[in-house]
Amino acid sequence: MEVIILPTSKEIGALAADSIEALVRNKPNAVIGLATGSSPLPIYDELARRHDEGLSFEGVSGFALDEYVGLPVGHYESYREVIRREFTNRVDVTAENVHGPDGASDDIAGACLAYEAAIVAAGGIDLQILGVGTNGHIGFNEPGSSLASRTRIKTLAEQTRQDNARFFDNIDQVPHHVVTQGLGTIMDARHVVLVAFGAGKAEAVRDFVEGPVTASCPASVLQFHPRATIIIDEAAASKLAGADTYRHAFNNKPHWQGV
């Protein structure tokens, strides 16, 4: 796990975008895992800017991390729509290459199996963008999720519904259920890039970076990932005992190593 602490969300977005740009230039048909919520927005803004300067995503495929269950197809806050609005409509990704778990299916279990199969058929996820919940969730794998879980339906923790109420008119509109890639699905990605901002994430960051690997803090499973890059601001890093060590390691990396 590499922990990188940077001053601003713009710099964090740019560093994550560097990884994605390098991947896409090296592998034009790369498969990218797409998170929603506030955290990835600086990455999407930066990728859209680079697209305006000529970076193409034409051959790229995208797989959303998760989706609400119970929102009508096309709902403004459905994650399929959010990803379209915040990222894929701003670049030249082919619409058919953008996939999301089907939270509106009559057969949720079957749709989850099909989603796992579609990821495999695309060649697996090369780079998975992640945020982290205040309770340590990644995707919508809430505390208690199996560390080996695959795409499936989950019930949102009340904390998560409260955190996400800001996207809706009121908390009653936040669905109780979601379909999410599992922790096992996320762990299969070849590279994961998690970004986090603000003091509200400091405890979750401390727990998953420096605490024990435990289903009680689902993001802690990333300690087992061979290539996990954690890019956070000073506020999110404020409870890390090893912050100086992480800064030292980043500032003294061999220049050829990348993230």
Contact with ligand F6R (CB under 6 A) among 39, 61, 88, 229:
39
Binding-site member from 37, 42, 62, 100 for ligand F6R (CB under 6 A): 37
Query: In terms of C-beta density within 10 A (0-12 exposed, 13-18 middle, 19 or more buried), how is residue 164 classed?
Result: buried
Sole binder of ligand F6R in the list 66, 116, 126, 233 (CB under 6 A): 66
Contacts of 227 (CB under 8 A, 6+ apart): 190, 191, 192
Contact criterion met (CB below 8 Å) for 204 and 136: yes
**Cα distance between residue 93 and residue 102, in whole Å:** 20
Would you say 6 or 138 has its CB closer to ligand F6R?
138
Q: Is 139 in the site for ligand F6R (CB under 6 A)?
A: yes
Q: Closest Cα to residue 24, out of 160, 126, 102?
A: 126
Stretch of 104-112, 131-139, 220-228, 250-258 contacting ligand F6R, by CB under 6 A: 131-139
Q: Which of 33, 42, 62, 131 binds ligand F6R (CB under 6 A)?
A: 131
Tell me: does residue 175 bind ligand F6R (CB under 6 A).
Answer: no
Nearest distance from C-beta of residue 24 to ligand F6R, angstroms: 21
Give the C-alpha separation, 220 to 210, whole Å: 8
| Count of residues that interact with ligand F6R, criterion CB under 6 A | 14
Of the candidate spans 3-11, 105-113, 136-144, 238-246, the one that interacts with ligand F6R by CB under 6 A turns out to be 136-144
Q: How far is the CB of 13 from ligand F6R (least distance, A)?
A: 13
Backbone angles phi, psi at 180, to 5 degrees: -140, 145
- The residue with tokens 């989706």 is 67
Residue type, 58: E
Using CB under 6 A, which of 12, 31, 60, 65 touches ligand F6R? 65
Indicate the SS3 state at residue 135: coil
Look up residue 198 and give its two tokens.
Answer: 């603000």
Query: How many CA atoms, within 13 angstroms, populate the side-chain half-sphere of residue 64?
Result: 26
C-alpha distances out from residue 19 to 68, 97, 176, 217, 222, Å: 28, 20, 34, 26, 18
12-20, 21-29, 45-53, 129-137 -> range binding ligand F6R (CB under 6 A): 129-137
* 180 strand-pairing partners: 66, 152
When the beta carbons of 14 and 174 are compared against ligand F6R, the nearer one is 174
Q: Which is nearer to ligand F6R, 66 or 102 (CB)?
A: 66
**Sole window of 125-133, 147-155, 229-237, 247-255 interacting with ligand F6R (rule: CB under 6 A):** 125-133
Task: Indicate whether 185 belongs to the interface with ligand F6R (CB under 6 A).
Answer: no
100 is a contact residue toward ligand F6R (CB under 6 A): no
Q: Which residues bind ligand F6R (CB under 6 A)?
A: 35-39, 65-66, 131-133, 137-140
